[in-house]
Amino acid sequence: MFRPVPPHAVLVPAAALVVVSTAWLTVVAASGTASPTTSLAGAAGQGVVFAGTSVLLRRRAAGSMAEAELWRWLSRALAALAAGAVLKGVARLAAGGATGSDAELLGGGLATLVAAPLLYRGLIQWNRVGTTTSDPTDWLNGLGGGLAITAVIDLTVARWQPDWTVAPWWLEQVAVLQVGALLLLVGTVLTVATLSDLQLDPRSWLAGLATVGLAVLTGADVLVHGGVPAGDLAAVGWVLIAGGLALAAVLRAHPALPQASKTQDLAVGCLVVLVGGVSTIALATRLDPGRTAPVVVLGLLAVAGACVNAMRLVGDLSQLARTRQEARTDDLTQLANRRSLLAALAEALGDGAATALLVVDLDRFKEVNDRFGHGVGDELLRWCARLLLDAAPSGSTAARLGGDEFAVLLPGAGLAEAQAVAHRVAALGEHPVPVGVHRLRVGASVGIAVTGGEPVTPSELLRRADTAMYLAKGLGSGVAVYDDEADLGARQRALLAVELEDALGAEHDAAGPAQFVVHYQPQLSIHTGEVVGAEALVRWEHPRLGLLAPDAFLDLLEERGHMGALTGHVLSTAVQQAQRWRADGNPVRLSVNLSTSCLTDPGLLPSLEAMLRGSGIVPGDLVLEVTETTLMEDPAVSLRTCEQIAALGIGLSIDDYGTGYSSLAYLADLPATELKLDRSFTDRAVAEPRIAAIIAGTVTLGHALGLRVVAEGVENLPTLELLRGLGCDESQGYLHCRPVPADAFDRWAAAGAVAAGAFAAGGPS
Ligand code: C2E
Ligand code: MG
Ligand code: MG
């Protein structure tokens, strides 16, 4: 039975035969004893070997994605050598088969000079196996290096062998350049093979051996022929290289990791070329100018190459510095970014020294953004960044963590120093910030976390400062220090959120979520003392914590998207209450608060209509309170909803008037019926004439727009009297009655406290 012979079983021995016989023919030609036929056969053999290897390498390139570039460059080098062999053959043919003519030397030399850089390029590519980045700077380094080495050889000859002359001079230079190029290749092979893990690749030993062999043979060629390289011994070296590369192409590669080009390596290479070039020129000036002209020319070229290279490097480095800078700074404020802060924090904590971290969050920044647009918001953030830098001591790092959240790292600082800085930062809110045509006053909440050197990770310290910041925000205290209690607060909040969801979800009965009750606070005519309305205010009867005020859970509700459910419950409870009061013959107008998400909830209008339809109250018995902040969340949708509410005949009240950033312009469009002066105004009215003037102006404005003006938070008689004098219509506050359950409200009203005391303090609490 015949077994088919695999193609490589024939091809490999045949190729080896061609390489060996060509090497032999070339050696014979180098010995000077070759017959014309042998010398021509030698040149032809070289051509076949080089061209064949070139084709083989190109096929190898097609078969390997990762090393395609490497093999392509090597294939090009071999093609150049094949062209050189053709030139050599033609020159030998012209010389009747004689070897060593000037034309042959020039052809062979030029082919070497073309092949060497192509090989160099391939070797550099090998160093970067797997990457597509070719580094053009390597070209310049190689060229400069080759020129500098050549200049050194020239200089060596001029200094120690001044009588060595070869005619013509250009042939001498081609020979010297060849040696220079080969020395450079040897250096490159050795460097590349020892870099990274390429020394584990058997092919690097093959390449190293072949290149060293080539250099030795070329050196021998020069020496054997008394300084005039005949090129044939060198050609043996090239044939060996070709054989070596052919073998490498079929050997299995050791997997190598991609290498990025290192700027410092390039800089060292550049410096070596520069120093080599300059010192060669300097030494050449001390010798016979007739002999050193090529040294100076080559040296100058090398120096020029190195200079261009250096300029590119400087450009690359500044680009790198810019990129690094960009990666570590916040685009908008130019402060450090979160990544950079964490790195600085890791460094500070690594020393085991005391470290303090402040986390700063602007209060009501979203309102500014919504009201004035993102351009103004951005400008405000830039201002805050500048103020933060002013407040932070030298040696600290100020960073923007994102949005309106900033941080200041104080390495080595203790609690006292951190608190001093935190108060400086929190005081920023006391000064209005000029942003474009606006002057905005933005407060800040600052959380402090300090470590005395005990092991804490950067992210843990950041979490602690963040927790403290939320505590500061929640308390409205401006500054808060993290301690385990603050942490406990955060954990309690998380627990509360879970309980809130349970209370809203699981405990639903026919009357709604049972734990949520509604209290009522009366609103009195400021002139007659008659109860004309009441505000419905929700409370949570928490099984563990007792009666909770809305501030303790409304944010959580809004955060978790349950506001709609609660508002529905409060609304229906309030409507039923209004119905009862009407049925009892004491109709009272009832106000219910709407939150941000309610105004944009498409379910609000249908449920309002349904409630009114099923109840015995008139739409005017119901007032819905919205704040300026609520309106600004989505002004277009909110305005439309308000118009629809008004169209139903329900009253619309602007709650907490004077605390937001909204302009007066929206008053013109909003179909409001009532304006509620915020407690922060009524509080200060007696003590501060300017506040009283603002209230007077607001009352005039409200009346001009046909609005009822209700004063909130009235706690004492002087305030009540002043507000009456300023023209307010109604009064609501602890002076009259705190928010109480409906039956307590009834008892309070029945006790005739209003009629008797006409605004005397007291009532149920
Ligand atoms: P608000 O609408 O401005 O309600 C007035 C708040 O001021 C009430 O606080 C009331 O108890 C308090 N207050 C009234 N008179 C005085 C006074 O003389 N002195 C002082 N210091 N405070 C007084 P409460 O009940 O804690 O409600 C706080 C806020 O929670 C309300 O402010 C309102 O924005 C919100 N809220 C209450 N119930 C609901 C609700 O059912 N739905 C929604 N969305 N928000 C609600
Ligand atoms: Mg209200
Ligand atoms: Mg209010």
How many angstroms separate the Cα of 744 from the Cα of each of 94, 546, 751?
A: 126, 18, 10
Q: What residue's CA is closest to ligand 1, atom 37?
A: 537
Quote the ligand 1 centre to 723 CA distance (angstroms): 20
Q: How confident is the model at residue 261 (pLDDT cuts 50, 70, 90)?
A: low
How many angstroms separate the Cα of 752 from the Cα of each of 716, 736, 747?
A: 19, 12, 9
Strand partners, 355: 411, 451
Question: What CA–CA distance (Å, rounded) separates 84 from 444?
Answer: 78
Q: What residue's CA is closest to ligand 1, atom 2?
A: 593
Question: What CA–CA distance (Å, rounded) separates 756 from 440?
Answer: 46
Positive or negative: CA dihedral 63, 67, 73, 75: negative
Q: What residue's CA is closest to ligand 1, atom 35?
A: 550
Quote the ligand 1 centre to 311 CA distance (angstroms): 69
Peptide bond into 168 cis (omega under 30): yes
**Pocket-testing residue among 504, 553, 593, ligand 1, by greatest number of atoms within 8 A of Cβ:** 593
Ligand nearest to the CA of 623: 2
Q: What residue's CA is closest to ligand 1, atom 42?
A: 593
Q: What residue's CA is closest to ligand 1, atom 46?
A: 593
Quick: pLDDT tens for 352-377: 788 999 999 998 888 888 788 888 89
Burial class (CB in 10 A: 0-12, 13-18, 19+), 128: buried
Positive or negative: CA dihedral 188, 194, 198, 202: positive
Positive or negative: CA dihedral 571, 573, 574, 576: positive
Ligand nearest to the CA of 594: 1
Q: Could you give the 3-state DSSP secondary structure of residue 361?
A: strand
pLDDT at 493: 78
Task: Give the length of the chain.
Answer: 765
Structure tokens at 758: 């006409």
Which CATH superfamily does the domain covering 338-482 fall into?
Reverse transcriptase/Diguanylate cyclase domain (3.30.70.270)
Residue with tokens 């203790």: 414
Quote the ligand 2 centre to 607 CA distance (angstroms): 20
Q: Domain coordinates of the chain in residue numbers?
A: 7-319, 338-482, 497-742
Question: What CA–CA distance (Å, rounded) separates 400 from 383?
Answer: 12
pLDDT at 353: 82
Which stretch of DSSP H or E encloses residue 497? helix 484-505
- Lowest model confidence (mean pLDDT) among 489-493, 513-517, 741-745: 489-493
Helix axis angle for 36-62 and 232-250, nearest 10°, is 30
Q: What residue's CA is closest to ligand 1, atom 12?
A: 713
Other residues' Cβ atoms within 10 Å of the Cβ of residue 28? 18
Question: What CA–CA distance (Å, rounded) separates 96 from 476?
Answer: 104
Which stretch of DSSP H or E encloses residue 625? strand 622-627
Burial class (CB in 10 A: 0-12, 13-18, 19+), 203: buried
Q: What is the DSSP string of 291-353?
A: HHHHHHHHHHHHHHHHHHHHHHHHHHHHHHHHHHHHHHB-TTT-SB-HHHHHHHHHHHHHTT-
* Of 209 and 358, more confident: 358
- Lowest model confidence (mean pLDDT) among 248-262, 312-326, 737-751: 248-262
Ligand nearest to the CA of 624: 2
**Phi, psi angle pair for 521, to nearest 5°:** -120, 125
* Of 717 and 32, more confident: 717
Of the candidates 433, 323, 321, the one whose C-alpha atom is nearest the C-alpha of residue 376 is 433
Question: What CA–CA distance (Å, rounded) separates 608 from 572?
Answer: 9
pLDDT at 321: 67
Which stretch of DSSP H or E encloses residue 534? strand 531-542
Which residue pairs, CB below 8 angstroms and at least 24 apart, start in 547-555?
A: 552/496, 553/496, 553/500, 554/595
Closest atom of ligand 1 relative to the 595 alpha carbon: 44
- Lowest model confidence (mean pLDDT) among 4-18, 246-260, 299-313: 246-260
Closest atom of ligand 1 relative to the 518 alpha carbon: 41
* Of 79 and 201, more confident: 79
Contact 735/763 with Cβ under 8 angstroms? no
Q: Could you give the 3-state DSSP secondary structure of residue 619?
A: helix
**Cβ-based neighbours of 234, under 8 Å, separated by 6 or more:** 108, 112, 178, 214, 217, 218, 221
pLDDT at 764: 34
Closest atom of ligand 1 relative to the 734 alpha carbon: 18
pLDDT at 758: 42
**Mean pLDDT for all residues in the chain:** 81
How many angstroms separate the Cα of 669 from the Cα of each of 172, 266, 648?
A: 95, 69, 17
Q: What residue's CA is closest to ligand 1, atom 30?
A: 550
- What torsion do the CA atoms of 115, 121, 123, 124 make, to the nearest 10 degrees? 160
Query: What percent of the chain has a predicted confidence (pLDDT) above 70?
Result: 82
Question: What CA–CA distance (Å, rounded) separates 246 from 256?
Answer: 20
How many angstroms separate the Cα of 437 from the Cα of each of 365, 379, 382?
A: 17, 12, 16
Question: What CA–CA distance (Å, rounded) separates 287 from 294?
Answer: 12
Which CATH superfamily does the domain covering 497-742 fall into?
EAL domain (3.20.20.450)
Contact 291/164 with Cβ under 8 angstroms? no
Contact 212/237 with Cβ under 8 angstroms? no
**Per-residue b/e over 457-482, b at no fewer than 16 CB within 10 Å?**
ebeebbbbbbbbbbbbbbeeebbbbb
Q: What residue's CA is closest to ligand 1, atom 6?
A: 713
Residue with tokens 């009114």: 612
Instruction: Evaluate if residue 571 carries a pLDDT over 70.
Output: yes
Q: How confident is the model at residue 743 (pLDDT cuts 50, 70, 90)?
A: very high
Kindly state the average pLDDT of the residues 686-705: 95
- What torsion do the CA atoms of 236, 241, 243, 246 make, to the nearest 10 degrees? -160
Residue with tokens 């950079």: 340
**Per-residue b/e over 362-385, b at no fewer than 16 CB within 10 Å?**
bbbbebbbbbbeeebbebbbbbbb
Quick: pLDDT tens for 271-319: 777 777 777 777 777 666 666 677 777 777 877 777 777 777 677 666 6
Beta-strand (E) ranges in 692-751? 708-711, 730-731
pLDDT at 507: 47
Q: What residue's CA is closest to ligand 1, atom 15?
A: 733
Instruction: Evaluate if residue 626 carries a pLDDT over 90.
Output: yes
Structure tokens at 346: 């890791």
Question: What CA–CA distance (Å, rounded) separates 617 from 579?
Answer: 6
Quote the ligand 2 centre to 31 CA distance (angstroms): 110
Other residues' Cβ atoms within 10 Å of the Cβ of residue 658? 18
The answer to whether the predicted template modeling score (pTM) of the entire model surpasses 0.75 is: no
Which stretch of DSSP H or E encloses residue 655? strand 651-657
Half-sphere exposure of residue 263: CA atoms within 13 angstroms, side-chain side: 12
Closest atom of ligand 1 relative to the 519 alpha carbon: 25
Quick: pLDDT tens for 126-135: 665 544 444 5
Ligand nearest to the CA of 738: 1
Quote the ligand 2 centre to 537 CA distance (angstroms): 8
**Cβ-based neighbours of 488, under 8 Å, separated by 6 or more:** none
Instruction: Evaluate if residue 250 carries a pLDDT over 80.
Output: no
Q: Could you give the 3-state DSSP secondary structure of residue 727?
A: coil
Residue with tokens 């924090």: 345
- Lowest model confidence (mean pLDDT) among 131-140, 529-538, 544-553: 131-140
- Lowest model confidence (mean pLDDT) among 351-360, 671-680, 745-754: 745-754
Q: What residues line ligand 1, using a CB cutoff of 6 Å?
A: 521, 537-538, 549-551, 554, 567, 570, 593-595, 625, 655-656, 679, 712-715, 732-734, 739
Of the candidates 679, 665, 711, the one whose C-alpha atom is nearest the C-alpha of residue 523 is 711
Query: What percent of the chain has a predicted confidence (pLDDT) above 90?
Result: 31
Question: What CA–CA distance (Å, rounded) separates 172 from 229?
Answer: 9
